[in-house]
Amino acid sequence: MASGNAIRGSRVGAGPMGEAERGESAPRLRISFWCSNGHETQPSFASDAQVPDTWDCPRCGFPAGQDPDNPPAPPRTEPYKTHLAYVRERRSDADGEAILAEALAKLRGEI
């Protein structure tokens, strides 16, 4: 026995889709971009659109440019720094000793 679903086997938007229903598509350009790993990607742009200088490579995520012999350099990623590493960049060991001595003197009631 059928389940009573009258549109079984079809999906939303199914039907005769053609140029007559959608209208004519805009003229497109396919532009090649190369990343530093040698991957090529060819996104399509509208013929009247401004083409960007770089495009993200879908395979590795590096920036890609239009010159295959001179692709953009991959971004330099800095390693994760802890709070203590940032403090050590701002203060010398002598500054740290002075601050510690002042804090200990406050705790002991000497100041």
Binding site as annotated, residues for Zn(2+): 35, 39, 57, 60
Q: Which amino acid is at 27?
A: P
Tokens at residue 23, please? 């209208």
User: What is d(CA 109, CA 103) in angstroms, rounded to the nearest whole number?
Assistant: 10
Binding-site residue numbers are 35, 39, 57, 60
Q: What residues pair up with 56 in beta bridges, in sequence order?
A: 63
H-helix segments, 18-92: 19-22, 83-90
